[in-house]
Structure 1
Amino acid sequence: MYREKRTHSDDIKHHSKHQKTDNRAFTFLDYKRVLEKVFFNDDLVEDINDVWLFVKKFESFTLKKTITDSSDTPRLKSNPLKLPEVFDKMHLINLKIKYSDDELASRLPTYDQEKVYQKRPLTKEDILNFRQLLLMYMDFKQKEKFNKLRKLRETQISLPVYQFKNEIIKAVKEYRVVIIAGDTGCGKSTQIPQYLSNAGFKRIACTQPRRIACISLSKRVAYESLAVYNNDVGYQIRFEKTVNKNTKILFLTEGLLLRQVCGEDLLSQYDVIVLDEIHERHLHGDFLLGVMKCLLHQRSDIKLVLMSATINVDLFNKYFSPLAKLIQVPGRLYPIKLEYHPVISEMKVLGKKSERFDPSPFIKIIQMIDKKYPKHERGDVLMFLSGMAEITAVVDAARVYCEKVDSWIILPLHSSMSLGEQDKVFDYAPEGTRKCIVSTNIAETSITIDGIRFVVDSGKVKEMSYDSTSKVQRLKEFWVSKASADQRKGRAGRTGPGVCYRLYSEDEFEAMAEYSTPELQKVPLDALLLQMVAMGLPNARLFPFIEPPQAENIENAIESLKQHGALTKEEKLTPIGNMLSRLPVDIPLGKMLIMGSLFDQLEPVLSLACVLSVQTPFTNKAYKDPECERARMDLESDHGDPIILLNAFKQWLELKSDGQNTNSRQWCKRRGFEEQRFYEMTKLRRQFKDLLDECGLKKNEEKNMDDMTSAERALRHGELKLLRDMKKIHKEEDSRKRKVLKKDMWEIEENLDAEDDSVDIRDIDFRLRHNQRQVKQLLKGSTAISYKDLMMLKIILSSGLYPHLAIADDFNSCKTTKEHLFHTEGKPFVSLHPMSYFGNHSDVLQLTESEIIYVPEFKGKNTVSSKHQLLVYMSLLETTKAYIMNSLRMPAAQTLLLFCRNICTNQNFSQIICDSWLQLEFPLPEAAECLILKASKLRNTWDKLLKLKLEEKSNRRAEHKLSEEMIRFMNVEIGYTVKRLLAADQKIMYAGPSGDKVSFTGPNPFSDEWQVCEDDKYGGLRMSPYLTYDCMMNF
């Protein structure tokens, strides 16, 4: 097509001729196939079905009314929308089909081909008539889009924040810091970035606490600024970004901006930084506030905008005084009726806490809505619950109720769900049906869902806290703050009058705290302080936190970093600490990656680290559905959960590498996996690999297009073009309109064998990043081929996770599997997680009769064996009780002697105490002495080779020899006992310093480089940094 000036009378002339023919007998709808062949073979229109719908309506209309031309054109007026008051033809893009009449006529089939219609053949005049009808359709679509744009601009102007537009722009230009306290519904998150961009600011970074908010806000702002099909507005989250050099507005997570602070020169790529939702007081958010305060002193040109709905104005204003300007924007909330419906259970009356969550109060609210509000009245429900277990309970109960009334669509919303599942909450419910969205606090501020009329608030939230003494993460339920409760209520009045049902009393509301407790007060600070030191901050204790954490927590974190070898005694960054600070993982997993490069096991360790870094791929039904459990049997490994996860990732990659387009979605569903997690693993693995390459620990040896044959290159170029076209089409269709949900959508999801023909954008992205050769390399790198590889993986994992060890309770043999208990150094009596391998197969942790050694002269009370085992675990999580998460089994004595920080022995080595809480006792002291000597030699060699590796002076032969010796060491069979020491034992087990000067002659058999001296704490002789000889009392 090309542009050409034409008038409306041209359109009418041909159609009036068509009317004079047999109007009743002739219709273009009878010639769909022919006309599509003539006109639509070069992507002339977006939606052919939409064209035929227009033709049908037009022909129906022309039968009833003669088309007339109106020469009266309304005069155009200016208005705040910067659009004409009415649509005028002068604004049309005048289009004309590029083919001549003769060319179009030549495409007509012969008469014989047309007999199938039993109609007269199309003539040249018919083709000309349809051409004009098609042009009218295109004009109609342009007018339709104009009306949509006008409505969009009217909506923007009606937002309360629009009244403050000029004040906000002026403030940002004149002040260094602008604090915008905008009530719910004022439009601050979507409009202010656009105001700043239109005012001339070129690069604007907008942080959000959650990924889903980055994506949804980016899409909305791109839509409003007519930038859907370019990259003027983009987002960047952990594994995904839509950004290029032309991007003006970038939505990104707080953590990613912090990483940019480490890598960029004072964030010079931005001229405005917008921190949104700062009231949530996340760890990264509070740290970012302090970083920005420091940055303001280093960059005089940077502008900082802070936004929140429920901000503690005085706190933030004082923090940035005198640089800050405060602007308060009222919200646009419709009247909200507030009703209190406190839940009074039998357990509550008795003053006890019920262990089982009761979903019935939420179902009663749904029933109340059904009785009180007719179905034809639109209005969806948003429920706030504390966690996934509660969401599942309400969703299940609500779906049972829906089977009877058939007027609801129940949708869960949780951050652990895939992005595709989360996006369903934005789709429309069909006529006569309401959506019921059952969510955590993710829907409190991070996203806005249109059409919400009813809010049901449980008043609860689950938050993670950390006990630095017992090293337990506690996920506990708390009352929300008053500010959060008001935020939740406000969700009911965004698009019309609403109702908020609070399932608690007014007295309980008044007893709530005003604002939420900052996360900085509740989490371990190790990784944060390491990042602070890596950024060059001289003293972490003096960092200007808006509300500093307790000094004790900072000191504990610094001491922990020293134990990991990340900081020197002078609190300077070590080479290993520098590498750990550049890896976006917990310190144990970062150490794993470094150790993997040392032992030539980096590829499988990369895969192991990424499967342990993302959320678990197991869905809720993974261990509830026997079919899922049976389907996963070939993935199981009695070594433990990390190896099972690695097997699952490996088998998923096998499907991706077979070249047969096997449906990996169905494979995941049948086994109870969330496929989104596997895609995240591949992205994270690539990220780890690139970072290790930058650190000099991994040379990127992947083959690129230049290494392919000409045939392979041609095939790959064709594949890439097809995939990019598919991605573009998916993006356009996804942004064009929201979908209408189906009432039976959850029943469809349960039908695992049903074919799913929809485009999987995640699979397209995966294939864009990986050709078949790269997928096979990825598969090879994720496979532990031999026993040696598997054993080295377990050793490397243990080196990173130590001191996360657990020992079985002495009485487990008398209990059922579910009753088995374990003990850690800081937390006794913990349980195996019911969704873990050992939680369902704890028998592999028990000694068999054949593994017990009977030593006649041995007087110890505990069982002697060479097969004692310990569990090495990722974390302890306390919900209803404390659970061991992601554990694997290791030989007890060998693991302790290789990794523990303090080894204390008696005079003949028959008794050894490891880190003051586990005791090994050997019937044969000579064998124990040999074992300790061997362990010391391995540790010394390990330290030397690691130092060379960090200095990029690797000795591959020595590294290979060390790995073989460690595997032999792990397989040594020597009888011993192992037991946990109690507090009473710890008071009497050490001799203590004698006060006399101790002399030692001869070479040190445990360390060539260590000067033997008396141990000032335990007594005896300090033979190495970790070994003290002859310091134990006989007990």
Structure 2
Amino acid sequence: MKCLVQSRKDLKLILMSATINIGLFQQYFQGQAPVIQVPGRLFPIQVQYLPIVPEERVTKTGKMNPSPYLRILQLIDGKYKVEERGDLLMFLSGLNEITSVEEVVKEYAQQNQRWIVLPLHSTLSIAEQDKVFDYPPEGVRKCIIATNIAETSITLDGVRFVVDSGKVKEMSHDPISKLQRLQEFWISRASAEQRKGRAGRTGPGVCFRLYSEKEYGDFAAYATPEIQRVPLDSMILQMISMGLPDARLFPFIEPPSGDAVENSITTLKEKEALTIDEKLTTIGKCLAGLPVDITLGKMLLMGSIFGQVEAVLALAAALSVQTPFTNRAYRDTDCESARKELDSDHGDPLTLLNAYKAWLEIKAGNQGHTSRKWCKKRGLEEQRFYEMTKLRQQFRHILSDAGLLPGQDSKQNTSSSQRAVRHGQLQHLRSLKRDFIRSGQRKRKVLKLGEDIEDMDDDDDDDENGEQAEMPTGGQIDIKDVEFRLQHDQSTVRSLLSGVTSAATSHQDLMLLKLILASGLSPQVALADEFNNYKSTSDQLFHTRAKPFTALHPMGVFANHPEPLQLLEQDIIQVPDFPTKLPVSSKHQVLMYVTLLETNKLYLMNAFRMPAAQTLLLFSQSIDTNGDFARLVCDSWLELHFVDAAVAQSLLLKACQLRYRWNDLLMLRLDPNRPLKEKDVQKLEQKMKRMQRDLHYDLIAFTQTQILYTIKRLLAADLKVIYRGHALESETPNEEMRNEINPFWPEFQAVAHPRKGGLQMADFLVYGCLEEPDFTQDYLSTPWACPICELNFYLTGLGRLRHQVQCQKTKELMEGGQGEPAEASESKTGYFCPDCRTTVELTGIDLLRHQRKHQQEKSNKPEAD
């Protein structure tokens, strides 16, 4: 290893080394920069280049050819004596490649009885991964087939031979389509040297490189920096929160691409963390104070507002760690049947929550089997649940520090006998932990020849009936369980369990939890392909805005049971005089997903289902309408076409009102100028609780609305002709109309949209910008009867809505004026009269008289002619 002394920082590192000669410092201060050789601990390693010819890289079926790897085993058996100890470590790029080589090598190992084959990758359980540290019998070698997890993360003693395929699969982030891409690359020279070094840790070794020396010289010196491979949303938000005027101009040491920075800023705007002019919003300031991913941060924020903190904490933790479901959970029929009770037909996040809840039930109760055996039976990795619990507590502390959790009394009322029992338990647990540390932690065993890795499990701590005492006194100690019980007594575990259980006790609570998840994930929406009903389970396809024709990940609930996503025949309604070839129904659904992953194909990860129209209207970044609200386009790629325009108008109005109230509650919760007096704080908390309760019920009622419509994906050709490009003449705002009420967002002043046309009624809503199809009736030629004042008018959809809102206000004013003082009942309100084309200031009674006057004039006009 070489290092060049170029700065005082380097000098400080040198001073920490006891092997450096003091004369080097004299040379440094004299202006010289000596090259310092730091001796390594590697034994001699022989490198052999055995490049694979192109014809041997893949088989006729297109899969990777395992023959070159098998020849390495044959070469070792022929050249090195059995008495010469030394294991083999193979570096392959991914799970599929490991599986292909493992099958062939196992057949060879069964024939000559000289090898024990052990795969090593992230989808194995911890117990299965730990087997690579055990000893092989005399005269037998281990063949460990691993991904780059064995490159730097762990050190395997006894490895003498290394096979380097020269390939690695790395996760990268596509900033344009916002997907995680797992691609195969040639490794860097630094990685190649690191892999070679695995063979010389405990003795002289051999490294077989399955590529040429010229290819090695063409490798990049180092791997791609992480900042160029990951999303930058959280980092950009932190930079802006610290006062950086423009993140695009920041002088990164290893700068990411301009597209990555630009798309991160766009994402922050979509998440409402930044304004249009890239200033921090109130939500953005709060998210910047939460050291978590933006999506998770928004979920936690919404969970604290709606009183669903415990369930959202558990879900956020579950989505932050690796899935507890191992590959055995979907490959082993016994595991598959045992875990069916955990599957949720709502989606993968709820299935994770069910699994975590069931595991906590095992921990909270004194049942006949241990949580470890319970997990093994279902193909679950218990280590992930421990990680979830720790992360859940960390998220709780983050919310508490941010002031987003109500004050809770952490002290529990326990009796002296309970405290004494707990004190004794803690002493015993600490003693077990000390014994575990003194014993050298996990005890290595001798592997059995011919035994499959899935059958190799540590069951030393189980008795003859497969049961285990709550506190083991002998055998192998489950240190993770000991550490868990040190942090959580039975009452604490029951508290964790009750928090998760109470959040999903009814359909309403479950729907609210899904709405909270959707608020954080939006706009990550997928629509089912229209031909899915005629396809097999494995051929189901879904479309996202950036990537059409994606599949469900095979380890997801819907990939194995897609029935909840499909429309039933009884759900499709035949509507006469409604020209469409698409199914008309009120049961359309969309998928919200956490990750879009590309490996050998595109996959949706951690998806759950939501009612389509209601979800799109609540969370879309842009909603475009036609003149009568019968057609809506969400986020410029999904079109909703409603059978009844009046019902569609009402649904859109309700969605906007819910969004407005949601935003109002959010701003109230995050208000930095909250009152300090205890009395005022209590009043504010009561007000927020009422707003939260009312909004909760109204949101659930909104998602259960039954309305007939069709939904389709718009193509690029559709978007070229779908927008009008100019505002309706009757709705173009002028000086007299600027004071007209905005029924969708009261604080927003309507303006003409410069590109789409129509009127922009809110940041997310543009009215009247869609081209009307030929079959649409001219609603301006058809009289409309107001359901409140019962008068007929010739108005556009927006005009009808404005009139109806104004009539409702007038009615409420007149009803409230019966018991109020005279001056209150005669207060004047501004109203734009479409007949006079002027804004008139009238009292409620005079306004009705004014409307009746125009109605009589219209009814008498034909007789005068």
Q: Structure 2-normalised TM-score?
A: 0.79
Query: Quick one: which of 578, 581, 588 aligns to 1:861?
Result: 581
Gaps of 5+ in 1: 1-159, 181-187, 200-321
Query: What amino acid is the match of 1:743?
Result: K
Residue in 1 that maps onto 2:418: 712
Match of 1:461 in 2: 168
Distance in 2, matches of 1:347 and 1:334, equals: 33
Q: How does 1:468-867 map to 2 (within 5 A)?
A: 468-534=175-241, 539-569=246-276, 571-660=278-367, 662-699=369-406, 701=408, 703-704=410-411, 707-734=413-440, 739-744=444-449, 747=452, 749-750=454-455, 756-757=461-462, 758-783=476-501, 784-867=504-587
Which residue, out of 385, 400, 407, partners 2:114? 407
Q: Which residue is equivalent to 2:763?
A: 1025
- The answer to whether the Cα contact below 8 Å between 1:465 and 1:473 also exists between their aligned partners in 2 is yes
Deviations along 1:772-820, one digit per CA (max 9) or x if unpaired, are 0110111111121111110101111111111111111122222212112
In structure 1, give the amino acid aligned to 2:51: P
What is the deviation of 1:741? 3.3
Q: 5+ residue gaps in structure 2? A: 23-30, 463-475, 675-683, 774-865
Paired with 2:458 and 2:223, the residues of 1 have a C-alpha distance of: 46
- What letter corresponds to residue 924 of structure 1 in structure 2? D
Structure 1 residue corresponding to 2:9, chosen from 157, 176, 182: 176
Q: After superposition, where does 1:17-36 map in structure 2 within 5 Å?
A: none
Structure 2 vs 1, CA of residues 610 and 726 (structure 1 numbering), >3 Å: closer, same or farther? same
Deviation, 1:346, is: 4.8
| 1:1022 alignment partner AA | Q
CA 1:577 to 1:359, structure 2 compared with 1: closer, same or farther past 3 Å?
farther
Cα distance per residue 1:565-616 (max 9 Å; x no partner): 2234554444433433344543212111110111111111111111111111
**Structure 2 partner of 1:881:** 601
SS in 2 for 1:462: strand
Distance 1:441 1:503, change over 3 A: same
Native 8 Å contact 2:326 2:379 kept in 1 = yes
Once the two structures are TM-superposed, the CA of residue 435 in structure 1 deviates from its matched residue by 2.8
Q: How far apart, in 2, do the equivalents of 1:709 and 1:745 lie?
A: 56
Q: Describe the superposition over 1:646-672 as per-residue Cα deviations: whole angstroms up to 9, x where unpaired.
A: 101100110000034731111111111
Q: Deviations over 1:191-226 (max 9, x none)?
A: x97869xx9xxxxxxxxxxxxxxxxxxxxxxxxxxx
Structure 1 residue 394, shift from structure 2 partner: 3.4
- Go from structure 1 to structure 2 and tell me whether the alpha carbon gap of 1:905 and 1:959 turns closer, same or farther (over 3 Å shift): same
- Separation in structure 1 between the aligned mates of residue 234 and residue 243 of structure 2, nearest angstrom: 15
CA contact (8 A) 1:474 1:877 kept: yes
Contact 2:50 2:211 in 1 (8 A): yes
Q: Please tell me whether the aligned partners of residues 481 and 512 of structure 1 are also in contact (alpha carbons under 8 angstroms).
A: yes
**Cα shift readout 1:301-343 (whole Å, capped 9, x = no counterpart):** xxxxxxxxxxxxxxxxxxxxx9999744354544332222333
Pairing 1:340–2:49 present: yes
Residue in 1 aligned with 2:812?
none
Structure-2 separation of matches of 1:451 and 1:533: 50
Q: How big is the shift at 1:1011?
A: 0.9
Distance 2:728 2:656 in 1: 28
Letter matched to residue 862 of structure 1: L
Using the TM superposition, give the Cα deviation of residue 369 of structure 1 relative to its aligned residue in structure 2, in angstroms: 1.1
Mean Cα deviation higher: 605-614 or 357-366: 357-366
Q: Is the 8 A contact 1:177 1:323 kept in 2?
A: no
Report if the CA contact (8 A) 2:314-2:500 is conserved.
yes
Using the alignment, how far apart are the partners of 1:491 and 1:531 within structure 2? 39
Q: Percent identity?
A: 53
* Matching of residue 998 in structure 1 with residue 703 in structure 2: no
SS of structure 1 residue aligned to 2:369: coil
Counterpart Cα distance in 1 of 2:298 and 2:35? 45
- Write the distance in 2 (CA, Å) between the matches of 1:325 and 1:552: 42
State the alpha-carbon separation in 1 of the partners of residues 629 and 102 from structure 2: 60
CA contact (8 A) 2:128 2:457 kept: no
Report how far residue 515 of structure 1 moved: 2.8
Counterpart CA distance in 2 for 1:327 and 1:573 is 49
| Residue of structure 1 in register with 2:590 after alignment | 870
Which secondary structure does the structure 1 equivalent of 2:591 belong to?
strand
Aligned-partner SS, 2:387? helix
CA contact (8 A) 1:177 1:325 kept: no
Alpha-carbon separation, structure 1, partners of 2:375 and 2:11:
48
Residues 1015 and 571 of structure 1, relative CA distance in 2, 3 Å threshold:
closer
Deviates more, 1:782-791 or 1:560-569: 560-569
CA distance, structure 2, for counterparts of residue 193 and residue 599 of structure 1: 54
Deviations 1:18-75 (Å, cap 9, x if unpaired)? xxxxxxxxxxxxxxxxxxxxxxxxxxxxxxxxxxxxxxxxxxxxxxxxxxxxxxxxxx
Distance change >3 Å, CA 1030–CA 453, structure 1 → 2: same
SS in 2 for 1:453: strand
In structure 2, the partner of 1:989 is 722
Deviations 1:488-535 (A, max 9, x none): 223323333221111223343343333322232232211222233445
Q: Distance in 2 between matches of 1:531 and 1:658?
A: 43
Residues 455, 489 of structure 1: 8 Å contact kept: yes
Residues 891-902 of structure 1: pairs in structure 2 closer than 5 A: 891-902=611-622
Say which SS state the counterpart of residue 272 (structure 2) adopts.
coil
Partners in 2 of 1:881 and 1:627 — Cα distance?
28
State the secondary structure of the residue aligned to 1:500.
Answer: strand
Q: Which moved more, 1:1009-1018 or 1:581-590?
A: 581-590
Equivalent position amino acid for 2:743 in 1: P
Secondary structure of the residue that 1:782 maps to in structure 2? helix
- Counterpart for residue 79 of structure 2: 372
Distance 1:588 1:325, change over 3 A: farther
Aligned counterparts of 1:472 and 1:483: Cα–Cα separation in 2? 28
- Preserved CA contact (<8 Å) 2:176 2:259: no
- What whole-Å deviation, never above 9, does each CA across 1:443-484 have from its counterpart, x for those lacking one? 323443333221100110001122222222110111112332
Q: Note the alpha carbon deviations across 1:684-734, whole angstroms, 9 max, x for none.
A: 111111110111111463644x52111111111111111111011101112
Verify the 8 A CA contact 1:903 1:1028 in the aligned structure 2.
yes
Q: Kindly indicate whether the alpha-carbon contact (under 8 Å) linking 2:181 and 2:599 is maintained by their aligned counterparts in 1.
A: yes
- Give me the whole-angstrom Cα distance separating, in 2, the residues matched to 1:565 and 1:386: 39
Distance 1:407 1:425 in 2: 16
Distance in 2, Cα, partners of 1:435 & 1:584: 43
Count of residue pairs brought into register by the alignment: 731
SS in 2 for 1:381: strand
1:391 — aligned with what?
98
Shift of 1:620: 1.2
Q: 1:976 to 1:748 in 2, by over 3 A?
A: closer
Q: Distance in 2 between matches of 1:1034 and 1:805?
A: 26
Counterpart Cα distance in 2 of 1:579 and 1:604: 20
> 2:691 is aligned with what amino acid?
A
Give the equivalent residue in structure 2 for 1:1007.
745
Call closer, same or farther: CA 1:702–1:354 in 2, change over 3 Å.
farther
| Cα gap change, 1:586 to 1:1009, in 2 (>3 Å) | same
User: Could you tell me which residue of structure 2 aligns to residue 972 of structure 1?
Assistant: 705
Alignment match, 1:941: 661
SS in structure 1 at match of 2:322: coil
